[in-house]
Structure 1
Amino acid sequence: MYLPLLLLFSVLWQETLAKTPINPLLWFREPCSPNDSPYHPGLRGRNGVYWGWNPDIERGDNISMINRATGHHANASTVSIFSQINSPDGFDGHQLLRHLDEIKGTGAALIASVMPNGLSFNEVTPAIAADIAKVVRQFTDQGIEVWLRFAHEMNWYVRPGTYRGNSTQFVKAWRTVHSAVKDIEGCMMFWCPNNAKTMDLYEEWWPGPEYVDIVGMDIYASKTTANFRNIYGGFYEAYAKKYRKHFVIPETATKPDTAELKQSWLKALASDDLSAYPCLKSISWFELRKSFDYRVVMGQGNAAMEKTLGNFR
């Protein structure tokens, strides 16, 4: 009589373990608390903020290469990968899934930037949302924490027509995706607009606090005087502090790409004292070559690399 019950309990327990992040970074962690629990073994700045990278995957640089380049320092805490929904007929997530085993091996959380490029916000149906959830589950079932950055920089990408629709349609699409993933153990919805000129320009794109787990903003510093307060301060107060949400910088670097500016901005984020911003949990550097060479690890000389790594524990 007891043996079948024990076997059933064993199966259920194993399934629970499989769906719980192996190295939880924000999962189970209290937003806006300086208490670093649960502990994650990944890379951090000298100020204690977790650190990761957007690797230049299309040019052959993966997260394992960046981890090796940082030498004795810990593996990246996060890895950010972009994936496009190219059709209203479905989403297979192949751009993410081809890196599943590698990400699992590093212990990083995945920032999955899912971009609805091939359909309008109105075409983000429950069926599309279910496809996204299916892809997410393939990571979470392997113990990988996923921060689902759906339609990031929505306020920017609607301008050139990369995303199609308005803010009302975006909010509806966001909530449809949220409904599909909200019960997935280890998945968190990550709202991330692009930098706007005034704070009021974000509000129409805000899905509502009950639909968001993490907030953040993409911006590229252009002056050596840039610091967290004068770049992110207003946004942090309005969304992270006000709603008690984890604050994550998922994509940043500098324009222009001068060594002086990159090192100045890197120091401001990884070495400066940011204890006044307890909601800030993680930063990811845009380690790519695009309109500029944003990289601070790959392709640098020894002296520059030594200066970069001096910002990390």
Structure 2
Amino acid sequence: MASPRPRPPSRPSPRTRFLAGTVVLVALAALALRLDVGARPGGPDASDASVGGADAVAEGGDVLTGVSLDWATDSLAAYAERLGRTPAVVVTFAEVPLREEDLAAVQGVVDQAGAAGSSVLLTLEPNAGLAAVDEAATADLVRRLRAWNDGGVEVFLRYAHEMNGSWYPWGQQPEAYVASFRQVAAAVHDGAPGTQMMWAPSYAGGYPFLGGGYHADPAAPGVLDTDGDGVLTERDDGYAPFYPGDDAVDWVGMSLYHWGEDYPWGENEVPAPDKLVDQLGGTYVSTTRDERVVPDFHGEYGVARGKPVAVTETAALYVPGAGGAPEAEVKAAWWDQVWDPALAERLPALGMVAWFEWAKTEPEVGGQVDWRATADPGLAQAYAAALDRSGRAR
């Protein structure tokens, strides 16, 4: 039996926790749309506002360094001081329709990013359901985005991420999701040309994630039945039914964490060589299976469609006091993969990587996990050296 695959670590925003699925084989079903990444709606100021967007990341070129911070206890300035460099992108979250408490928090991040010359990767979560993101909510969102853009801050908008999973209210509703994404994208492209739309499913190892609070009916899968056998299984494509179309998408992204190599999670284990490349390329094989796992995300949605690829969140699990491999060994083995200079050839569409700089309790391991790369000065120095060695990090 394949081992359960954990979701990305949680942030303190309203979200449903779920230990998802098993590592499985998924068949690839391709979509046919193609559109030049640079040909997007927007006024003449669109390129001026975009300092790190799709048209600025050529194949095999620069990779934007990013970070997801615990904004309640950390700041961009403090992180930059620890690392010795300012990241190009900072990550934050909010609900949509936008609430006042979320707006205040996002504005604080935008202010920090603007002062530092960084962009913002804003993840919007429609926890009230996709129908709640109506024309009024979308117009309000675009108005805010335009104000931030006009203030000099570029935004990457990761809307309703991990929609192929079963743990969010917007999960596994491909037709409603695609319609909602396209509505938001059209409004953003028209009204906030300094904002770029990012489509970011969950890594499909474990699809269809049956058992989550929002999983589709496996006996009535509809368009999710990509192999035509009448049921939703691991053989169906975990990405293609959710793709909104090339005209709506500027970036494609995915969160990829090293939780360990063997279930149960919580052991400090050095990641297998090439794990990151294999997961993005659809060739990763776990220690409990001898089969190909998922479609080639990087090849199909990055290279073939001409979209820059973002690793929107990444880190390597380290549980203090749990024994096993030392912290420095576990984390260095992962960031050496993430920032391997050879990725210019192996993952030529890679354009952004954001480290998850948090220490927090994770239900999957029943204790504290320290995901951070800069809490210890020695680790921070080693991580900065890996960025320098990559030759692409900016």
What interval of TM-score do these two structures reach, taking the shorter chain for normalisation? 0.7 to 0.9
Q: Is 1:134–2:209 an aligned residue pair? A: no
Matched, 1:250 2:260: no
The corresponding residue for 1:42 is: none
CA distance in 2, matches of 1:93, 1:154: 23
Which of 322, 335, 350 is equivalent to 1:266? 335
* Aligned counterpart, 2:48: 20
- Structure 1, residues 13-49: CA drift from partner, whole Å, max 9, x if none? xx9769832x7012543x6534x5xxxxxxxxxxx53
Whether 1:172 aligns to 2:174 is no
The alpha-carbon deviation at position 104 of structure 1 amounts to: 0.5
Task: Write the letter of the residue equivalent to 2:314.
Answer: T
Q: Which residue of 1 aligns with 2:82?
A: 69
Instruction: Give the one of 89, 93, 102 matched to 1:82.
Output: 93
Q: Distance in 2 between matches of 1:226 and 1:115?
A: 34
Is structure 2 residue 190 aligned with structure 1 residue 194? no
SS at match of 2:359: coil
Which residue in the other structure is 2:153 paired with? 144
User: Partner residue of 1:311?
Assistant: 386
> Are 2:63 and 2:350, in contact at CA under 8 Å, matched by a contact in 1?
yes
Q: Cα offset for 1:230?
A: 0.8
Q: Partner of 2:114 in structure 1? A: 104
Amino acid in the other structure paired with 2:304: K
TM-score (norm 2): 0.64
For residues 47 and 298 of structure 2, what CA distance do their matches in structure 1 show?
Answer: 31
**Deviation at 1:180?**
1.2
Q: Partners in 2 of 1:19 and 1:215 — Cα distance?
A: 19
The whole-number CA distance in structure 1 between the counterparts of 2:101 and 2:357 is: 26
Residue of 274, 296, 300 corresponding to 2:373: 296
Partner SS state of residue 93, structure 1: helix
| Aligned equivalent of 1:125 | 134
Which 10-residue stretch deviates more, 169-178 or 219-228?
A: 219-228
TM normalised by structure 1 equals: 0.80
RMSD of aligned residue pairs (Cα, Å): 2.6
Q: Give 1:209's aligned residue.
A: 246
1:232 aligns with 2:280: yes
Checking the alignment, whether the CA contact within 8 Å between 2:97 and 2:133 is kept in structure 1 is no
- Match of 1:66, SS state, is helix
Deviation, structure 1 residue 92: 6.7
CA–CA distance in structure 2, aligned partners of residues 232 and 164 of structure 1? 21
Amino acid at match of 2:69: P
Contact conserved, 2:170 with 2:177, CA < 8 A, in 1?
no
The list of structure 1 runs, each at least 4 consecutive aligned residues, that deviate by more than 6 angstroms after superposition, is: 15-19, 89-92
Whichever residue aligns with residue 189 of structure 2, its letter is: K
Aligned residues: 276
Runs of 5+ consecutive residues of structure 2 not aligned to the other structure: 1-42, 208-235, 262-270, 282-295, 320-326, 363-368, 389-394
Q: Any idea what SS the aligned residue of 1:176 has?
A: helix
Mapped contact 1:109–1:144 kept (Cα < 8 A) = yes
Deviation at 1:311, TM superposition (A): 0.7
Structure 2 residue identity aligned to 1:212? V
How far did residue 149 of structure 1 move? 0.4
1:164 CA drift (Å):
6.2
Residue 271 of structure 1, CA deviation: 3.4
CA distance in 1 between partners of 2:163 and 2:148 (Å): 25
Match of 1:220 among 235, 257, 266: 257
Q: Give the whole-Å Cα distance in 2 for the aligned partners of 1:243 and 1:211.
A: 12
Q: Where does 1:5-44 land on structure 2 (aligned, <5 Å)? A: 20-21=48-49, 24-26=51-53, 28-29=55-56, 32-34=58-60, 36=61
8 Å CA contact 2:121–2:158 kept in 1: the answer is: yes
Residues 161 and 199 of structure 2 are in contact (CA less than 8 Å); yes or no, is this contact kept in structure 1?
A: yes
Of Structure 1 and Structure 2, the greater helix share is in 1
Aligned residue for 1:245, secondary structure, equals coil
Task: Answer whether contact 2:145 2:155 (CA < 8 A) is retained.
Answer: yes
- Report the AA paired with residue 356 of structure 2: F
Q: Is the 8 A contact 1:19 1:140 kept in 2?
A: no
Question: Per-residue deviation at 1:273?
Answer: 1.5
Q: Which residue is equivalent to 1:95?
A: 105
Identity in percent: 25
> Secondary structure of 2:90's match?
strand
